[in-house]
Structure formats: C-alpha cells, structure tokens
Homo-oligomer: A and B are copies of this chain.
Amino acid sequence: MLDDRATTDTTGDTPVRLGILISGRGSNCAAIAQAIADGKLKGCEIAIVICNVTGAPGIEAARKFGMPVVTLEGRGREQRDHEEALLALLKKYRVEVVCLAGYRRVLSARFVRNWKGRMLNSHPSLLPSFPGFNATQQALEYGVRIAGCTVHFVEEWVDAGAIILQHAVEVLDSDTEETLASRVLAEQHRAYPEAIARVLSGEYEAVGRRYLRLGKVEAVPPMRSQEAVADTASITAEN
C-alpha cells in the first residue's frame, strides 16, 4: 500500500527515514548508526534494518543498537516475491532512502528503477576497477598500489551507478587479503555516513555521471506518487 507519508520531506525538520539492507555482519550499518548517534550524520534516522539471511550476525548487532530489525529470508524464494515483500516492508516503515550495506542479492532493474537517486551502495574498491565479488582479492591479484572504496547510487547494472564519493587506501607490501580488506572496510565506515550526508545535504547534483556540489538544489528526489501507485498496481495485477 502506498502511504502518503512516503513522500520525502527534506525541507522541514523531520529526519529522512533510512532503510538499511544487510546480509552479513552489518558493520556498515553499525557505522551509519554510530555516525547518527555521534551527531556526525544529521537529518536522518534508521527506520528499519532488513536482513535477507536468517541468523546473520548483523541482526544481533542492529538490535544492540536499538534499531528495528526484520529478517526477510531470501533463500529459496523467487526474486519477484522477495522484492514484493521487501517493497511492502520499506513502505510500511516509510523508508525514503535505501542503503545497501553488504547486501548480497542483486535487485531487479524493475525494483531499482523505482528508487532512482534514493538507493545507495558501498563497494570495497575504487570503481570502475574490481566490480562484483571479492574486490579486495581482485585488487591484490592485479597488483594495484592504491585500493579504496566507493559509495554510489544503485542503478540497474551492478556497481555501475553514479559515484557519490571514493576514498583511497594505500596497499602495503605486507598486505594480505585480510589486512587490506580490514583497512578498506574501516574506510568504508567513514565514507558511507559522509556519502549519505552529501545526498541529504541538498547541495549536490548529478551532472552526467558526476555528482557535484553546486549549491542548493533539491536533495533526495521526492517519490513520485503516481509512479509509485502505478508500480504497486502492476505488482498486484501480475499476481
């Protein structure tokens, strides 16, 4: 069901409602929560954490933070059914911006399109280098000396949306996959809240694929009610 409250209000004082999708440790989710708790990331709150893996350690971690958590087991479920349930949950919790945080399931183009400019992901490489899985292993095998992480908008292609920010991490001669992955992850924990702040600031704008600070522009694009209604209707009609 479409809820009128799902329309984003970024002009008032109402915090923007984040929905965080996790599959594992949820350490990026915890980093976002910590940044909010510390007052470093303002103007938003975590409305819901959704985990698609039963018993994932991130569930307990989110609970300890006092965040509402829902497990929506993805295994053995058709993508369409899973995404329909996911969409219903996001609407129920009036989520305005979705943050993928180690979410290990590719979302359909259809689902992603509906969240254009409102869905973020963090990837452990300097994209476009090393997209997909095992980014750190790929980077070490390639022999790069500068690794890093990317926070980007999610588009229909994996790891292909416009880049919000990137942080570089130097590769050391002594690095193993474990030590490099650990430093990149620490950098992701700094980068993700900073990227969310950029998106919510209303000062950045996409110019082609570049995401630039140009001054006061519209922040998170308001969810277009007609489109959302049409989408809900089509899901209903198809089932």
Q: Which residues of A contact B (CB under 8 A)?
A: 126-130, 140-146, 148, 150, 162-163, 165-168, 173, 208-214
Contact = CB atoms under 8 A, between A and B. Distances in A.
Q: Identify the interface centre among A145, A162, A167: most chain B CB within 10 Å of its CB.
A: A145
Contacts of A146: 126, 146, 148, 166-168
Contacts of A210: 140, 143
A197 to B, nearest CB: 15
Contact of A129 (B126, B143, B209, B214): B126
A141 B142 CA distance: 24
A145 B173 contact: no
A169 to B, nearest CB: 9
Contacts of A168: 146, 148, 168
Nearest to A210: B143
B173 A213 contact: yes
B173 A144 contact: no
A95 to B, nearest CB: 26
Nearest to A211: B143
